[in-house]
Amino acid sequence: MPDDALLAIDDLCVAYDGSNALNGVSLRIGRGELICVVGANGAGKTSLIRSIAGIVPSSGGSVRLDGVDISRRPPWDICEMGIAQVAEGRQIFGALSVEDNLLIGGSLKRARHDRANTLDSVYHLFGRLRERRDQLAGTLSGGEQQMLAIGRAIMSKPEIVMFDEPSIGLSPALTDVMFGVVKSLNEQGITVLLVEQNVAKSLALSSRGYVLENGSVVLHGSSRDLLENPDVQRAYLGL
């Protein structure tokens, strides 16, 4: 991936209470790509997402969006610059209606001018949300809450959407639906960073992948090559 990547991460380090969560992670995402970062629990995947989003400060390295260093920017600036996150656990506003949750996602300056049209697009993508637009978000099922979290990210008119473990807590059927939505968004031109424990599905969906272990990138390459890698097959695919 060339250095004109849309998102460029170099030697990123994150530490909690003196314990390293990320140890010099570097990766590149080109405009319009769908790449995945896979690994077991505790590998550092969520720390990576949260550091890119500005939620967790880095202790070293850099994150550049379209050539601009965002490593020390606050989360709201990073959202305004075009990075949206679909967080693990959904993180919706349960006491607000479905539509109010979506409108919050569309409250950024970059999104306000087209908020009504984007809302229609979200309702077209997720008809169930349209049906439940006045319902309190906290009363939705797990799958519906995940739809809402994705819809809220879309409302911000992002250039990049980062998905953090979108399949957690979902049935196999709903997991397939969610991965289909991720693919559809990418086909519409949105750059996607997918962080997942479901290694087989993630690599099947993406063009390239990175394998994280203990806070470090231990493998990266085309998704096809990673699927055929004996170490990946043995550690993550049960082959």
**Could you tell me the domains of the chain?**
1-82+160-239 (3.40.50.300), 94-158 (no CATH)
pLDDT value at residue 26: 97
pLDDT value at residue 1: 46
- Residue 174 pLDDT more than 80? yes
* pLDDT tens by residue, 223-232: 999 999 999 9
DSSP, residue by residue, 176-205? HHHHHHHHHHHHTT-EEEEEES-HHHHHHH
Has this prediction a pTM greater than 0.75?
A: yes
232 three-class SS: helix
Are the CB atoms for 35 and 208 separated by under 8 Å?
yes
- Percent above pLDDT 70 for the chain: 98
Look at residues 192, 126, 181 and name the one whose alpha carbon lies nearest to residue 158. Answer: 192
pLDDT value at residue 162: 97
* pLDDT tens by residue, 2-48: 457 999 999 999 998 878 999 999 999 999 999 999 998 889 999 99
Mean pLDDT across 123-141 = 95
pLDDT value at residue 239: 54
Mean pLDDT across 184-209 = 94
pLDDT band at 238 (very low <50, low <70, confident <90, very high): confident
What angle, rounded to 10 degrees, do the helices at 172-187 and 142-155 form?
10
pLDDT value at residue 89: 75
Count of H-run helices and E-run strands, the chain: 11, 10
Residue 229 CB partners (closer than 8 Å, separation 6+): 219
pLDDT value at residue 2: 47
